[in-house]
Amino acid sequence: MRSAARNRPIQILLLAVALVGLTLPGASPVRAQDEPPLPPGLSPTTPAPSSEPALPPGLVNDAPSEEPALPPGLTQATTPARAEDDTRKNFRERLPFDLSGFWEARGGFRTRNDTHEKDASIGETRLQLKVEKSWDRIVFKTTGDFLYDPIFNDPDVDLEEGEGFFDLREANLLLRPASFLDVKIGRQVLTWGTGDLLFINDLFPKDWNSFFIGRDQEYLKAPSDAVKASLFTNLANLDVVYMPRFDSDRFIDGRRISYYNAAMGRRVGRNAKVKADRPDDWFDDNEIAVRLYRNLGTFEAALYAYKGFWKSPGGSDPVSGKAIFPELSVYGASLRGPIGKGIGNIEVGYYDSEDDRDGDNAFVRNGELRFLAGYEQEIGTDFTAGVQYYLEHLLDSGDYQDSLPPGMPGKDEDRHVFTLRLTKLLMNQNLKLSLFAYYCPTDEDAYFRPHVSYKVDDYWTVEAGGNLFVGDDDHTFFGQFENNSNLYVGVRYGF
């Protein structure tokens, strides 16, 4: 009896040691204090299955007790974020529609002297407002840019050419009359095709002035006034776009960008602005663009057709001397999909210049066969490279050469262009460095578009970039713009 009583403390001690031993990590590579506490939602609410014995004291919660307590606010995991969310919703809900947009200022200068143009390449501030209102099967969207441009002060608003203090970029209704049919009516920006800053079957209007002077890339696409019907079936999808009146490019006309004037045989600018005779009869001078597309496995295949006009001047009137937009039909196809670690694409287009099918009319552009092949792949962390090869092959090159006035430099039968795109993201993807370069070995000219942008915070972005043209000849595609080479900076506040 006495010995048993004397042994009792020892037994208790042994028991305690045994219990502690159970809780020690021992040889386990994982230390107990690494064990996470149960997050809210698991710990208090977990019902212990009735079959399980209750844990003895000393085992319960020993690990969590060594864990740092959750900071205040975390235990109510979702509440703070929701409260934040509500604030934002309240701000937006004050309006009966969705409002967003940005304000920006942009300035740039020519790096070379151009006697025919202003030294400033761009100097403008812009407020873009987007209003969107959606109902069950209808979305109304409008985007308008208010522009103040003290350098190229042009107060008269021309919504067709995007001039003046207001540019209407979008104003359309998107309807879904049936699950397999979407219809978009009104002013809209349209894009299709597979090229990267090269366009074969995308014959929607481009704004080359904006592109060359360093506006945001968004402004390369000019809006169309169109009806777009999209039909979706299991077999294939069909887009039909009808533009009741021709929407030309906002083409290079000498006002902001100097160019090579073939008739005058030299580079000109504001001294020889292009006077154009644009087809502009409603419903007569219309355009139709069609795309039929479907997935083939992981590849996307598409067929295209277009009937309308050369989008930038494709000839001149021998009598008036005005630039004209001859009739054009284009038929093409594209294929895009994963190849190796990247994305590959090919696209072809047959340009049927209907007013010069024989190629012997010196005043109308020849027909062409265009082809491009591209490949893009990630080559490092947040580092992407893309290359493209592009070909413009003149149909009836011989007749074209014969039709040229003596002494006028002509285009080669084949114009080859290579492009390179490099994009690198740094600093948590807030700093973006990019370069896009076009190089044409046949014309011996090139165009470089370096760009750097930094997101200061969720609202402010600052950027700088350039448009640098080099070439041996005055008349080649990129070489003619040599004196328009420019550098620019910009700042934008998005909301």
Site for another protein in 242-261 (CB under 8 A): none
What b/e readout covers 209-240, taking b as 16+ CB neighbours within 10 angstroms? bbbbbbbbeebbbbbbbbbbbbeeeeeebbbb
In the region spanning residues 86 to 115, those forming contacts with another protein, defined by CB under 8 A, are 88, 100-102
Q: Is 458 in the site for another protein (CB under 8 A)?
A: yes
Contacts of 185 (CB under 8 A, 6+ apart): 172, 173, 175, 227, 228
Asked if residue 65 binds another protein (CB under 8 A), the reply is: no
- Token pair in block for residue 42: 């698991």
Among 3, 72, 136, 319, binds another protein (CB under 8 A): 136
Stretch that binds another protein, among 57-65, 159-167, 326-334, 393-401 (CB under 8 A): 57-65
314 touches 364 (CB < 8 A) = yes
Q: Segment contacting another protein (CB under 8 A): 247-255, 322-330, 406-414, 426-434?
A: 426-434
Q: Is there a contact between 139 and 183 (Cβ–Cβ < 8 Å)?
A: no
Query: Strand (E) positions, 427-485?
Result: 431-440, 445-455, 460-471
Asked if residue 46 binds another protein (CB under 8 A), the reply is yes
Taking only Cα atoms into account, the Rg of the chain, rounded to an integer number of angstroms, comes to: 32
Q: Of the listed pieces 113-121, 318-326, 337-345, 365-373, which binds another protein according to CB under 8 A?
A: 337-345
CA 225, 321, 261 angle in degrees (round to 5)?
85
| 153 binding another protein? (CB under 8 A) | no
Distance CA 468, CA 382 (A): 25
Q: Are 316 and 363 in contact (CB under 8 A)?
A: yes
Which residue in the set 21, 36, 72, 407 belongs to the binding site for another protein (CB under 8 A)?
A: 36
**Out of 119, 317, 382, 472, the residue judged to bind another protein by CB under 8 A:** 382
Contact flag: residue 60 with another protein (CB under 8 A) = yes
> 464: closest CA among 430, 490, 431, 429?
490
3-state secondary structure of 114: coil
The CA-based angle 435-440-441, given to 5 degrees, is 125
Would you state the structure tokens that stand for residue 378, as one six-digit string?
């990630």
Residues 284-303 that bind another protein (CB under 8 A): 293, 298, 300
Contact assessment for residue 276 and residue 253, using Cβ atoms and an 8 Å cutoff: yes
**Three-class secondary structure of residue 217 per DSSP:** helix
Stretch that binds another protein, among 12-20, 29-37, 107-115, 324-332 (CB under 8 A): 29-37
- 237/217 Cα distance (integer angstroms): 28
Of 117 and 207, which CB lies nearer to another protein in the complex structure?
207
Residue 62 vs 473, nearer CB to another protein: 62
Q: How far is the CB of 118 from another protein (least distance, A)?
A: 28
Taking the least distance from each CB to another protein, the nearer of 157 and 385 is: 385
Q: Any idea how long the chain is?
A: 495
Among positions 343, 391, 437, 464, the unique one binding another protein when judged by CB under 8 A = 343
CB of 60 to another protein, least distance (A): 8
Q: Does the footprint of another protein cover residue 279 (CB under 8 A)?
A: no
Closest distance to another protein from the beta carbon of 83 (Å): 11
Comparing CB distances to another protein, the nearer of 358 and 382 is 382
**Is residue 77 a contact residue for another protein (CB under 8 A)?**
yes
- Output 296 or 408, the one with its CB closest to another protein: 296
State which residue, 329 or 377, has the beta carbon closest to another protein: 377
Q: Going by DSSP bridges, is the β-strand pair 323-324/276-277 parallel, antiparallel, or unpaired?
A: parallel
The residue within the footprint of another protein, chosen from 105, 120, 129, 139 (CB under 8 A), is 139
Site for another protein in 186-245 (CB under 8 A): 188-192, 217-218, 220-221, 230, 232, 237
Q: Which is nearer to another protein, 163 or 182 (CB)?
A: 182
